[in-house]
Amino acid sequence: MPVQVAAVRTSVWAAGPTGSLIPAMAGRNAYDPLEPTADPRWHVVRDRLGRVVESKALPAGTDLKGTMVTAIL
């Protein structure tokens, strides 16, 4: 007899706080990597193989979201 068949079930589905059978998700992290910071950052462009094509040092306090939008456009 296979072990999986002989084993006693130790977990059961139970209704979560919303009444569904899906387990409740843990809260998501509110960290935003593009928020302004006092640390210097780098803008790095890589090719499809992960090789660095272009890199530029960004001074501390740079608007990272604006830099990203400008680079995409």
Domain membership of residue 58 as a residue range: 34-73
pLDDT at 50: 93
- Asked if the structure places residue 44 within a domain, the reply is yes
**Rounded Cα gap, residues 40 and 59, in angstroms:** 5
**Rounded Cα gap, residues 26 and 6, in angstroms:** 33
- Asked if the structure places residue 2 within a domain, the reply is no
How many Cβ atoms from other residues are within 10 Å of residue 35's Cβ?
Answer: 9
- Asked if the structure places residue 9 within a domain, the reply is no
- Asked if the structure places residue 7 within a domain, the reply is no
- Asked if the structure places residue 24 within a domain, the reply is no
User: 3-state DSSP call for residue 56?
Assistant: strand
pLDDT at 47: 94
Who's near 29: CB < 8 A, 6+ residues apart? Answer: none
Q: How many domains does the chain have?
A: 1
Q: Is residue 4 very low, low, confident or very high in pLDDT (cuts 50, 70, 90)?
A: low
- Asked if the structure places residue 50 within a domain, the reply is yes
- Asked if the structure places residue 71 within a domain, the reply is yes
Report, as an integer, the average pLDDT of 13-17. Answer: 55
- Asked if the structure places residue 14 within a domain, the reply is no
pLDDT at 44: 92
Each residue's pLDDT tens digit, 21-60: 555 566 666 778 888 888 899 999 999 999 999 999 999 8
